[in-house]
Structure 1
Amino acid sequence: MTSVTRRRFGLLALSAPFALLMSNSARANLIETLLARAQIPRHDDELWVLVEDERAVLSVYRGNALVERFSPVSLGRAGAGPERLRGGNVTPMGEFRVNRFNNESDWHIFIGLDYPTPAHARMALESGLYTERDYEDYFAYYRSHGYPPQQTVLGGFIGIHGLGGADPDVHASYHWTQGCVAVTNEQIERLSELIEIGTRVVIR
């Protein structure tokens, strides 16, 4: 697999949504606008991930071809939605990139996502959750650190992880996380073999 440096990842993550941010139709709901085209592979050989809330399924694709599917997956206890507040137990919908792997996580393996994305920050500004200063600080932090701030009103620390010591029976029956996407320990091991830093993840 081709490696992606932190600097390269930051540039990709910050630049991708800006065309949408300038359009009037996108301002109504940037996340819905992004999701309308998110299932179109960026190129025929792109390896990408789709998480579907209603079906409780995580699918890995190569272009349009299914590579592997994991089911059931668990999302936040409050379901999934385009807007998320810290502590709300909602899994954020949108288009993300993998930006870190933690192989020593309490959740067996944790695959971090770049939430909140610039699109989520823009929606927060439009809805009044972010002030202009908050919005400027978001981008200043992202440029400085190479990843978005995790301690704003939008929360953070969103990713895909295993069960660790969690109850498999609960996982099989309910959405139980604080906002992450959970799969079994065996499934997270397999997923971590398939994807890498920079892999696109769509949650809808």
Structure 2
Amino acid sequence: MRLINILAVMLTVLSLSACGSKFKTYNGPEVTHVVINKGDRRMFLLHHEDVLKQYRVDLGFAPAGHKRIKGDGRTPEGLYRVDRRNPNSDFHLSIGIDYPNAKDRAYARSVGKSPGGDIFIHGRPNGKKRGLGPDWTAGCISVKDRHIEDIYAMVRNGTPVTINP
């Protein structure tokens, strides 16, 4: 009987410790495409043509138009892919997209500038939950922390990301 009580206590402690974790699991349909519509500030996680989830997003501090150079505050437009994950991000969690692509680099080179980089879909800055206002990033796509936890669990590396104007 004592062994059963010990096991019950251990199971309770383990289940409670998982409650606060930012790392969720997902066992639903595969996310085959992420679509971000900058104009209406929405992100859609799709399984083929079916919308699995949608979220409100914030963008770069100068969101109109395609990102061209480092520091312009724009969020890229076009077709990219998820290419990395950062569980230790300064922004709760983050998943990277493969901006700049060859076309982005060629344009920036033609004007003698850097295209920038490190474009992520991420949560809020660690330790800061309010007061950022709309479109506050340097060019990334930001969502609420609880939403990036879902996105991080659902979206895999290699998933296409289309960012529309």
User: What is the TM-score when the length of structure 2 is the normalising length?
Assistant: 0.74
| Matched letter for residue 159 of structure 2 | T
**Aligned mate of 2:121, from 146, 160, 181:** 160
What is the aligned partner in structure 2 of residue 88 from structure 1? 72
Structure with greater helix share of residues: 1
Displacement of 1:87 after TM fit? 1.1
**CA–CA distance in 2 between the matches of 1:123 and 1:55?**
27
| Matched letter for residue 89 of structure 1 | G
Displacement of 1:123 after TM fit? 3.8
User: What is the TM-score when the length of structure 1 is the normalising length?
Assistant: 0.61
Displacement of 1:124 after TM fit? 3.8
Q: In the alignment, does 2:139 pair up with 1:179?
A: yes
Superposition pairs of residues 49-88 of structure 1, within 5 angstroms = 49-71=34-56, 73-88=57-72
* CA contact 1:77–1:179 (8 Å) conserved in 2: yes
RMSD of Structure 2 on Structure 1 (CA): 1.8
SS at 2:105 equivalent: helix
5+ unaligned residues in a row in structure 1: which ranges?
1-44, 131-151
What is the aligned partner in structure 1 of residue 149 from structure 2? 189
What is the aligned partner in structure 1 of residue 13 from structure 2? none
* CA contact 1:76–1:178 (8 Å) conserved in 2: yes
5+ unaligned residues in a row in structure 2: which ranges?
1-29
Displacement of 1:51 after TM fit? 0.8
**CA–CA distance in 1 between the matches of 2:64 and 2:83?**
21
**Aligned mate of 1:198, from 151, 158, 162:** 158
* CA contact 1:162–1:184 (8 Å) conserved in 2: yes
**Aligned mate of 1:106, from 71, 75, 90:** 90
Provide the identity percentage.
32
The 3 A distance-change label for structure 1 pair 178 and 83 is closer
What is the aligned partner in structure 2 of residue 48 from structure 1? 33
